[in-house]
Structure 1
């Protein structure tokens, strides 16, 4: 994250999409949308299946910060239209969840705190430190994404799903929260959990 202590008054610029830096390498430099989607699928397969086989200690860190280095817009361009039961679709949802947490960690912490008493099992699975403050939430979501390289991908999906379910429960109980926001987070939780079961049963493609 940029150091804002010395940037008083400086306008914030969102990172520009840099699709060519990562995904275009899989498409052979072709900007055709269909080829780009195919490149995204190949990249997702490499990231998930190749990460644990690489033996590179820095892979987990690169996975966590992919959205920072490439830009969430670039990731959205190639992965956001993928189905929830695909590797690319799962990665999009995981990075989207991380972007939400980083955009409003205090708000997410408040929602998680509100929901954890009513979603005890999901709270335990999510594995957020107690008390769940903004720093703990950021650390948790980065740990989940880092688990792609260090652990079982199904576990990554189940942890992320549990976290999203606790947040959805918290949103439902807080005043002023729209039903759309609750349904969106609950839908994300259900998609990630379902994908986790597919991964266990036959492996996501």
Structure 2
């Protein structure tokens, strides 16, 4: 017999049938997918697990990359910028908004933006390059400017290894190796930053 409250409604704990089973299976799959993606397994087991759960996690926005940590942390800081050539011939440098000067709460909220900009210049994300360049062009159009060319640039600065001399680790980037690579150029017809 179903337990009913005074209004006569059936309690949530009394729901049975295929709907409850489906929700339970979905929650179990989701937890298993996240745990599997986060496991530090040796290859080829890790590759097999990532290929099994990766598409689902990327599609739902739940993919986490732990490459900041061992065994192979990144050895460069990457930042996205763009050279925008205006109809007048003037060239402006646009930088993707950074996290410098933001509070911890603001940094957390902007984390996905940073991840997007870090990954944009990778060759496997080339399909997004034209849209990113058009977006930057539209930002300049909104300021009343007429962009004609947008060049996407990947700026990289080496991260010194642990135990490196103090001058290599300091805030002065002069001791560090800096590289700048234009990885995509988009020519914009007059009036078409969009």
Query: TM (normalized to structure 2)?
Result: 0.27
Greater share of helix: 1
Which structure is larger by alpha-carbon Rg, 1 or 2?
Answer: 2
By relative contact order (CA 8 Å, sep 6+), the higher-ranking structure is 1
Q: Which has the higher strand share?
A: 2
Structure 1 length normalisation: TM-score? 0.26
